[in-house]
Copies of this chain bind each other. A is one copy, B any other.
Amino acid sequence: MQPTKKSTIYDIANLAGTSGSTVSAVLNGTWKKRRISVKLADRISKIADELGYTLNMQASALRREKSGIIGMIVPMYDNRYFSSIAQDFEQMARQRGLFPIVTCTRRDPKLEMEAARAMLSYQVESLVCTGATDPDCISDLCRASGVKTFNLDLPGQKAPSVISNNFEGAFALTRSIFKQCREAELELFPLLFVGGRAGDHNTRERLRGFIAAHEEVAIQAKHEYILTCGYGAEKSADTLQLFSETNKNIPSGMFVNSTITLEGIMRWSNKDGKHRLKGVKLGCFDWDPFAELLSEHILMVRQDVPEMLTRLFELIDRKSSKIETIEIMPIISPR
């Protein structure tokens, strides 16, 4: 029950009747080089165990000028895409003997910069920016400290990036929505596009794919049907409400730009026990297991997180600083 203080290598050295440097060598495995007797090594290890000794990484890192920390910034945890990014990132970092620090910045540019600064203070060896508002700004900040950055899920001009192939994914998804319509023997018509920020790269690319798929079937995408109302369930619900008030009927096909947008849409659809979107074919650029079960008319694009992280760590492992953008094809589900 005693609130023990932390023990140091010198505590151990005293108990073992030896010196700090010997203890250090034994405890960090350098000791084969220094020909320390196995007996001494064992005694030291045993004492360390008994004291519950843990290395002070702050001190160790300070001395070695190497923290062993890798940082990641994500916007949110609360959807399957970012949560699996965080989860898999941690695992892959640990496999490499690195200590992962992930932090979520709520799509808040100020918080993003603050978090990056904090990571630098804690001496991250490299920093991965996922879905940051302004990754280039963070890259600049980090480069000033000699810290490498990498972008995930959105391309930057100042660091190597791994992203989904948003154009192809959106193209395929839109095409599948049309296919569903055709199978339901509906005449083809311009689809609705809901969610995302008009300015951000991913949304722009997805819109390109969305429009290209319209052109493929010789349909003109409608400008007024593109509702890039940001991320957030409330906003998409309100946007759809407004749309339904000004347009007598909602198109029977819809491209939804994220699960959070889908959440708002479905909530609006089911409000007051109605089913406003009954029969409407939905395609969502993002995946969620429950959303997928919501109706047989829902198609989802699942971004290939394991592959994205594999490629990301290839860049990190080889300490690449070549500025390139690697695009990973997402997976359409089902079919």
Residues in chain A within 8 A of chain B (CB atoms)? 1, 3-6, 51-52, 54-59, 61-62, 67, 69, 76-80, 83-84, 86-87, 90-91, 99-104, 106, 117-118, 120-123, 141, 143-146, 233, 259, 262-263, 266-267, 270, 273, 288-291, 293-294, 296, 321
Contact = CB atoms under 8 A, between A and B. Distances in A.
A54 B146 CA distance: 12
B77 A6 contact: no
Contact of A83 (B52, B57, B78, B146): B78
A267 B292 CA distance: 10
Nearest to A288: B290
Given A87-B104, A100-B103, A146-B4, A123 B290 contact: no
Nearest to A270: B293
Nearest to A101: B101
Contacts of A69: 122
A77 B88 CA distance: 10
How many copies of the shown chain assemble into the complex? Answer: 2
A256 to B, nearest CB: 12
A194 to B, nearest CB: 16
B67 A77 contact: no
B87 A78 contact: yes
Contact of A77 (B86, B120, B288): B86
Contacts of A267: 289, 293
Contacts of A290: 259, 262-263, 266, 288, 290-291, 293-294
A122 B99 contact: yes
A55 B144 contact: no
Contacts of A291: 290
Please list the 6 inter-chain residue pairs (A to B) with the smallest Cβ-Cβ separation, ordered nearest first. A52-B144, A290-B290, A77-B83, A78-B83, A57-B121, A54-B120
A244 B303 CA distance: 34
Given A52-B141, A58-B67, A143-B3, A104 B90 contact: yes
A87 B84 CA distance: 15
Contacts of A121: 54-57
Contacts of A263: 289-290
A90 B78 contact: no
Interface centre among A78, A104, A117 (most CB of B within 10 A): A78
A254 B141 CA distance: 54
A50 to B, nearest CB: 10
A261 to B, nearest CB: 12
A121 B61 CA distance: 11
B6 A145 contact: yes
